[in-house]
């Protein structure tokens, strides 16, 4: 029975991962569209629709968390589901932040509209005042006096037309002033409404950030509970070690294939160069992978909370090898490529959570683990300092940080020896 339940839960989680990928792609496309010139209500409505979809996903995840039975063999699966919930909350926060950016842009536009409307109202008011002032300076003459002073019937008709023109001009001046004043009031009301929407978004952001903190705490406490339980911790260690070995084999295979492609590309370029020297032409270049500069920048801003090398386990007291450095940083902080290169791995695993591996050529690779989100895919070429993801606490992690490794010819080495 438990095996059937476990298989069913795994199937549900895989389906969720695929759905989450689609949402992340949609959010990325929306971020590109935000660079357009003018904010529209449609863009804000689209964000709200996406938020409703994220809320639906979060509710489905909550349902899984409430129904699944967590035994030792499913604790890692529970952590994965909790991580999925954290990632959805992170996407909701990104959605809200983007809405806030839209509303800030909209407020600037509304303020300018209020300025223009107020300027038009002031101009109409000045015209109206000029009309009244002229009437006062020239003395108040009634329309009847103008008509009765006529010297003939034809003159009276002409004066009646003249009075009509004056009356129409006075009415138009008054109507223009009234319309300008109404336009100003409407613009001010729209501005206040947008500011109110912005305040709602900012309050929602605070709520989501608090929710995210609680979710990260819950996921971290699960790992700590596992480590406190000797039997569960042994199972956890076995899973982590086995999975890291598979990951390393995957990396070696991917790097070998990339090196083969690099060798073919180099051979092709050499053939084309030889052909050009002989005057026989040759095809154009392009494509291919990227080789690093040989100088690595820090992949995240923060303090190193755990160094490379052997360290004592805080609970069980045994000595264990730590194959990278941990850089403490806030959840969602930017993670950048330490050097230029080509992405050879970008996926999820139970131990590393979301992780990325970049090949820099010359047998050097870097690994970035426990990410809240990944911004690059396999085959992408990246430059030194380019953002590739965000700090998180996915996988076997007890809090937001970046686990960073450097591999040289398949051997994990101290990253500090390569960072500048």
CA nearest to 305, candidates 417, 399, 412, 406:
399
Which of the four pLDDT bands, split at 50, 70 and 90, describes residue 301? very high
**What is the rounded (10 degree) CA torsion for 208, 214, 220, 224?**
180
By mean pLDDT, which of 29-33, 163-167, 311-315, 398-402 is the weakest?
Answer: 29-33
Which of the four pLDDT bands, split at 50, 70 and 90, describes residue 155? low
**3-state DSSP helix/strand/coil percent for the chain, to nearest 5?**
60, 15, 25
Sole residue written with tokens 């010819």: 409
Delimiting residues of CATH 2.70.70.10 domain(s) in the chain: 243-278+290-417
Is residue 329 a contact partner of residue 369, using CB atoms and an 8 Å limit?
no
pLDDT above 70: percentage of residues in the chain? 65
- Fold exhibited by the domain 243-278+290-417: Glucose Permease (Domain IIA) (2.70.70)
* Residue 35 pLDDT: 43
Is residue 85 a contact partner of residue 212, using CB atoms and an 8 Å limit?
no
* Residue 65 pLDDT: 58
Mean predicted lDDT score pLDDT of the chain: 76
Residue 222 has pLDDT above 50, yes or no: yes
Q: CA triplet 79, 81, 85: central angle to 5 degrees?
A: 110
Q: What is the pTM of this model?
A: 0.60
Is residue 47 a contact partner of residue 17, using CB atoms and an 8 Å limit?
no
- CA distance linking residue 74 with residue 67, whole number of Å: 13
Query: Cα dist. 241→235, 245, 282, 352 in Å?
Result: 10, 6, 50, 11
Is residue 371 a contact partner of residue 357, using CB atoms and an 8 Å limit?
no
- CA distance linking residue 87 with residue 19, whole number of Å: 12
């Amino acid at each position: 029975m438990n095996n059937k339940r476990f298989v069913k839960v795994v199937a549900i989680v895989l389906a969720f991962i695929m759905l989450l990928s689609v949402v992340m792609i949609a959010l990325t496309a929306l971020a590109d569209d935000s660079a357009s010139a003018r904010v529209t209500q449609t863009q804000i409505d689209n964000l709200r629709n996406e938020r409703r979809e994220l809320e639906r996903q979060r509710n489905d995840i909550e349902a899984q968390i409430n129904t699944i039975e967590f035994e030792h063999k499913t604790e890692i699966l529970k952590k994965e589901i909790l991580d999925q919930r954290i990632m959805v909350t992170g996407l909701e926060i990104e959605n809200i932040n983007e809405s806030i950016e839209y509303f800030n842009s909209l407020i600037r536009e509304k303020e300018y509209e209020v300025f223009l409307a107020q300027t038009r109202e002031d101009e109409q008011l000045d015209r109206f005042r000029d009309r009244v002032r002229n009437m006062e300076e020239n003395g108040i003459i009634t329309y009847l006096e103008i008509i009765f002073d006529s010297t003939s019937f034809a003159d009276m008709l002409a004066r009646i037309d003249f009075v009509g023109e004056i009356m129409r001009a006075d009415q138009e001046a008054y109507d223009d002033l009234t319309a300008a004043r109404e336009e100003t009031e409407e613009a001010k009301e729209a501005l206040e409404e947008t500011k109110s929407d912005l305040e709602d978004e900012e309050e929602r952001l605070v709520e989501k950030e608090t929710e995210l903190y609680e979710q990260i705490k819950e996921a971290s406490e699960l790992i700590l509970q596992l480590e406190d339980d000797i039997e569960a911790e042994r199972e956890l260690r076995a899973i982590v070690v086995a999975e890291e070995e598979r990951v390393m084999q995957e990396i070696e295979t991917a790097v070998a294939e990339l090196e083969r492609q690099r060798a073919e590309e180099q051979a092709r370029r050499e053939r084309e160069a030889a052909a050009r020297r002989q005057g026989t032409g040759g095809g154009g270049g392009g494509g291919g992978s990227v080789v690093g500069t040989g100088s690595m920048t820090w992949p995240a801003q923060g303090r190193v909370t755990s160094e490379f090398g052997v360290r004592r386990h805080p609970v069980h007291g045994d000595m264990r090898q730590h194959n990278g450095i941990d850089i403490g940083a806030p959840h969602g902080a930017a993670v950048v490529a330490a050097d230029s290169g080509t992405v050879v791995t970008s996926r999820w695993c139970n131990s590393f959570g979301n992780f990325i591996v970049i090949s820099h050529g010359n047998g050097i690779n870097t690994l970035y683990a426990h990410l809240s989100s990944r911004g690059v895919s396999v085959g992408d070429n990246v430059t030194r300092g380019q953002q590739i993801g965000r700090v998180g606490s996915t996988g076997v992690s007890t809090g937001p940080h970046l686990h960073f490794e450097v591999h040289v010819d398949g051997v994990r080495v101290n990253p500090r020896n390569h960072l500048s």
